């Protein structure tokens, strides 16, 4: 282990054998407030890193009566309290806050939509401060246990705590894998819409567009079911990542709330200087027949509707980032690029901008949250229409999961393809962007295509 004097402010680290993080994750199954940020589908620099963290020393959630901007400002102050320089040879998350921001956190940022948007069933924001992280670099095929020694601040005490925590985690990594429940099936899902109701909702959204209220809105249907006795959400997640590996996957076990996500989409990242958003708009299903799959891919690339939809969200994000970026630095290095995943093809764009002096990560979240690709444009009116039509909170779905490192970096996904386990039930949503050219029947089928892998992950037995 490399011992670093705490007065330098750096972290301590111990390199351990590289392996599949999902195998190591099982050894953390009984640890408190477990966070797994999972790049099950590495794509170059995208999905390069995965992280496991548990047993936080501090929890951040909304204070009584607190607004969204005040909460983010308080989060910035907490991050500044624990600030560290980055060790450049290690993955970006070297200790810090990680967890989720629910979609309805947005109602706390904009009084205009507060009255129209239902409150979430769970805490609007729940982040844990982790002093120790297991960090994987899939590109270099290396893995480290990294520890800050926080909340100790005395230099010698901080080193002692960091050494002790690294030893604890290393011992945990060497323990036998606990058995997970494998015999589970959930096949009877109930949507908050009938097919006829959903198609009518899409037509109502089109009517709003034709009336000039909005250009686009993303409308979702929610499926839910009771969890059978003995159901193990971790075993489910391990199934899900096999069936639908994603670049920005996650598993959170926060006691009463558990979340499994196989999201392909980044909301916004920050490397200490530059912010990057990667909006996805435009989807086609994959097909096992290579010829048909190629036709679907070509159809997506040639679709004027999907391209127009994507460009619309890019413009929205350029506007969002411009609120916190240095003038003239917002750029679009990729417009409507094709990305293929296990079950779908997507059109993805990239929007970047250099954060202006004096702006913080909290300011960046306030400017970009929630992502335009899962609201529509203009964003405020689209959110109002979503609340009116969907009638139920989205909770973690279309919110964000990710980290804010003590070293200044941040990476947050858009939590699509996401399951919430709460109060004895499981729920997940599927939605799509509606434009004036949308066909209600096609949009309904698209929602089913997007959640098909999630539903199949619930139907398997002994899959662990």
Give residues with Cβ within 8 angstroms of 174, minimum separation 6: none
Q: C-alpha distances in angstroms, 243 versus 237, 327, 329? A: 10, 43, 39
Is 281 a residue of the active site?
yes
Catalytic residue among 10, 104, 265, 409: 265
d(CA 241, CA 231): 17
Give long-range contacts, CB 8 A cutoff, 24+ apart: 355-358: 355/270, 355/273, 355/274, 355/275, 355/324, 355/325, 355/326, 356/324, 356/325, 356/326, 356/327, 357/326
Per-residue DSSP letter, 374: G
Residue 460, phi-psi category: left (phi > 0), alpha (psi -120 to 50), beta (remainder): beta
Per-residue DSSP letter, 459: S
Rg (CA), the chain: 21
With H, G, I as helix, E, B as strand and everything else as coil, classify residue 400. strand
> Locate tokens 């096992």: which residue?
288
Catalytic residue among 10, 104, 258, 281: 281
d(CA 216, CA 377): 5
Residue 326, phi-psi category: left (phi > 0), alpha (psi -120 to 50), beta (remainder): beta
Query: What's the CA dihedral at 442, 308, 43, 25 to 10 degrees?
Result: -50
With H, G, I as helix, E, B as strand and everything else as coil, classify residue 429. strand
CB 379 within 8 A of CB 69: no
Give residues with Cβ within 8 angstroms of 166, minimum separation 6: 1, 12, 13, 14, 132, 145, 147
d(CA 248, CA 41): 8
Q: Which residues are catalytic?
A: 265, 281
């Amino acid at each position: 282990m490399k011992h670093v004097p705490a007065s330098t402010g750096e972290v301590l680290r111990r390199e351990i054998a590289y392996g599949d993080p999902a195998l190591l994750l099982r050894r953390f199954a009984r640890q408190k407030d477990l966070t797994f940020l999972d790049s099950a589908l590495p794509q170059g620099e995208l999905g390069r890193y995965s992280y496991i963290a548990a047993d936080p020393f501090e929890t951040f959630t909304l204070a009584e009566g607190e607004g969204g901007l005040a909460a983010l400002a308080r989060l910035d102050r907490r991050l500044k309290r624990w600030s560290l320089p980055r060790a450049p040879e290690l993955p970006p998350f070297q200790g810090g806050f990680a967890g989720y921001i629910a979609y309805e956190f947005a109602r706390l940022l904009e009084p205009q939509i507060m009255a129209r948007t239902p409150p979430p069933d769970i805490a609007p924001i729940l982040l844990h401060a982790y002093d120790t992280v297991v960090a994987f670099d899939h590109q270099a095929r290396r893995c480290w246990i990294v520890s800050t020694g926080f909340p100790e601040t005395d230099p010698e005490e901080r080193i002692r705590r960091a050494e002790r925590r690294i030893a604890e985690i290393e011992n945990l990594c060497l323990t036998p894998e606990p058995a997970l429940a494998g015999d589970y099936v959930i096949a009877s899902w109930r949507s908050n819409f009938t097919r006829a109701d959903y198609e009518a909702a899409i037509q109502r959204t089109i009517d709003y567009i034709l009336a000039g209220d909005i250009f686009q809105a993303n409308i979702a249907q929610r499926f839910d079911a009771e969890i059978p006795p003995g159901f193990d959400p971790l075993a489910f997640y391990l199934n899900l990542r096999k069936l639908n590996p994603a670049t920005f996957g996650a598993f959170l076990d926060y006691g009463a709330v558990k979340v499994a996500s196989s999201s392909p989409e980044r909301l916004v990242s920050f490397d200490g200087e530059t912010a990057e958003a990667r909006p996805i708009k435009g989807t086609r299903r994959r097909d096992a027949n290579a010829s048909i799959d190629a036709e679907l891919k070509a159809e997506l690339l040639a679709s004027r509707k999907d391209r127009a939809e994507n460009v619309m969200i890019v413009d929205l994000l350029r506007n969002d980032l411009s609120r916190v970026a240095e003038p003239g630095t917002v750029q679009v290095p990729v417009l409507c690029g094709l990305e293929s995943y296990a079950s779908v093809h997507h059109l993805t764009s990239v929007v970047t901008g250099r954060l202006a002096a004096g702006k913080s990560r909290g300011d960046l979240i306030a400017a970009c949250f929630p992502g335009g690709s899962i609201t529509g444009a203009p964003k405020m009116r689209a959110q109002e229409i979503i609340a009116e039509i969907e009638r139920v909170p989205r909770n973690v779905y279309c919110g964000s999961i990710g980290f804010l490192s003590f070293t200044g970096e941040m990476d947050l996904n858009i939590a699509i393809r996401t399951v919430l386990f709460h109060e004895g039930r499981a729920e997940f949503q599927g939605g799509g962007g509606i434009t004036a050219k949308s066909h209600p029947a096609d949009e309904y089928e698209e929602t089913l295509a997007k959640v098909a892998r999630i539903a199949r992950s619930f139907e398997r037995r002994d899959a662990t």
